[in-house]
Amino acid sequence: MTKIIDGKAVAKKVNAQTATAVAELAAQGIQPGIAVIIVGDDAASQIYVRNKNRKATKLGMHSVVRQLPATTSQDELLAIIAAYNADDSIHGILVQSPLPAQINEPLITMAIDPKKDVDGFHPTNVGKLITNFPGNYPVANTPRGIMTMLADYGVDPAGKTAVVIGRSTIVGKPMAALLTNANATVTIAHSKTADLKAVARTADILVVATGIAHLITGADIKPGATVIDVGMDRDENGKLVGDVDFDSAQGIAGLITPVPGGVGPMTIATLMQTTVELAKWSDVSE
Ligand SMILES: Nc1nc2c(c(=O)[nH]1)N[C@@H](CN(C=O)c1ccc(C(=O)N[C@@H](CCC(=O)O)C(=O)O)cc1)CN2
Ligand SMILES: [Mg+2]
């Protein structure tokens, strides 16, 4: 039988820990602060940013949403980031992706102080993750949240074969690094991988982050595998579905995340967790 990984339930546990950490920091006179910058009016991004702001406020954090017009120039955005870099009430800065075409996304990522890089996308923090650097630094929230879910369901990557389909900076590459650091044997596969489905079938842990609805079906899953679906796609009826065909995976996968209710809720809970950590670490000189 296939067991469903309940991302909402794990997110609830993480949020409870975050609430405790916020209370502990309050006793020291510190209120974690997050600034989320959104450029333009992409409907889905508006919802995600609203959810982040609501959650941060509910957990007792200082939360700022900076809504900018779609015509914002790169220099204007850089100036706003510089101001948050210098603002002691803000511990985490996040620029919601996607950005309009006139803005060079890597340049924006580089402009955020690595100590306030709550997304964990800055090359300094990505480099630390890849080198399994000791000490404290932020890690991309979606893959980190997936590691939390795996741990919560007793899935230890050590010695397992893991396949990550997708090589983005947000999910695929940091996911592969986290699984490698946890002693899995990891393959990163992508659109140019020869016989992608045969590679998928080798995985004890299969993470799918391609943006292609139902790319992976039950026939592509090793019996008993843990399947993590990062996709948020629309099917022909406009319904939200994942990169994995959930129905055909039943009875084949050992564990599987649903869409919605799997990875998504963990992304925001982990973002809150990271914000509190950045506030905590900002108080310690290195
Ligand atoms: N700067 C960033 N931009 C983006 C990130 C990010 O981590 N940092 N991730 C995504 C969007 N995202 C958060 O920003 C996000 C997307 C989806 C969910 C979520 O909870 N999804 C729900 C379903 C929602 C629905 O019904 O449409 C689920 O999976 O259950 C949370 C966060 C891109 N941009
Ligand atoms: Mg989900």
Q: Does the annotation flag 66 for ligand binding?
A: no
Looking at the structure of the chain, the number of domains it has is 2
Cβ of residue 143 lying under 6 Å from some atom of ligand 1:
no
Token pair listed for 162: 């893991």
Amino acid at 25: L
Look at residue 261 and give its three-state secondary structure: coil
How many beta carbons lie within 10 A of that of residue 2, not counting itself? 17
Residue 85: CB atoms within 10 A of its CB come to 15
pLDDT at 140: 98
**Domain co-membership, 152 together with 102:** no
* Residues 234, 150 within the same domain: yes
Judgement on whether residues 171 and 238 belong to the same structural domain of the protein: yes
Catalytic-residue membership of 96: yes
> Could you confirm whether 152 is annotated as catalytic?
no
Asked if pLDDT for residue 285 goes beyond 80, the answer is no
**Which ligand is located closest to the Cα atom of residue 268?**
1
Give the burial class of 195: count Cβ atoms within 10 A of its Cβ; 0-12 exposed, 13-18 middle, 19 or more buried: exposed
pLDDT level of residue 88 (50, 70, 90 thresholds):
very high
Q: Is 282 annotated as a binding residue?
A: no
Contact between 76 and 46 under an 8 Å Cβ cutoff? The reply is no
Average pLDDT, rounded, for the chain: 97
Whether 286 shows a pLDDT value over 70: the answer reads: no
CA of 284 to the centre of ligand 1 (A): 31
Supply the range of the domain harboring residue 250.
Answer: 139-262
| Residue 278 lies inside a defined structural domain of this protein | no
Q: What is the ipTM of this complex?
A: 0.94
Q: How far is residue 53's CA from residue 68's CA, in Å, rounded to a whole number?
A: 16
Residue 191, annotated ligand binder? yes
- The CATH number for 172's domain is 3.40.50.720
Predicted confidence at residue 34, as pLDDT, reads 98
- Structure tokens of 256? 């599987």
46 has catalytic annotation: no
CB 92 less than 6 A from any atom of ligand 1: no
- Exposed, middle or buried by CB within 10 Å (0-12, 13-18, 19+), for 97? middle
Residue 21, domain member (yes or no): no
Do 151 and 62 lie in a common domain?
A: no
284 inside domain: no
Residues 165 and 214 in one domain: yes
Same domain membership, residue 257 and residue 143:
yes
The answer to whether position 173 is within a domain reads yes
Q: Is 242 helix (H, G, I), strand (E, B) or coil?
A: coil
Specify if 121 maps to a domain. no
Point out the ligand 1 atom lying closest to the alpha carbon of residue 263: 29
Contact in structure between 31 and 25 (CB atoms under 8 Å): yes
pTM here is 0.97
For residue 222, is it within any domain? Answer: yes
Asked if residue 82 is part of any domain, the answer here is yes
pLDDT digits (tens, 9 = 90+) for 131-160: 999 999 999 999 999 999 999 999 999 999
164-223 confidence digits (pLDDT tens): 999 999 999 999 999 999 999 999 999 999 999 999 999 999 999 999 999 999 999 999
- Which pLDDT belongs to residue 35? 98
pLDDT band for 109, please (50, 70, 90 cuts). Answer: very high
Query: Residue 105 — pLDDT band, cuts 50, 70, 90?
Result: very high
Q: Is the domain of 106 the same as that of 208?
A: no
In a domain, 165, yes or no: yes
By C-alpha distance, which of 135, 192, 146 is closest to 171? 146
The CATH code of the domain that includes 71 is 3.40.50.10860
In short, whether 270's Cβ falls inside 6 Å of ligand 1 is no
2-48: per-residue pLDDT in tens?
999 999 999 999 999 999 999 999 999 999 999 999 999 999 999 99
At residue 283 the predicted structure's pLDDT band, cuts being 50, 70 and 90, is confident
Q: Rounded to whole angstroms, how far apart are CA atoms 146 and 128?
A: 19
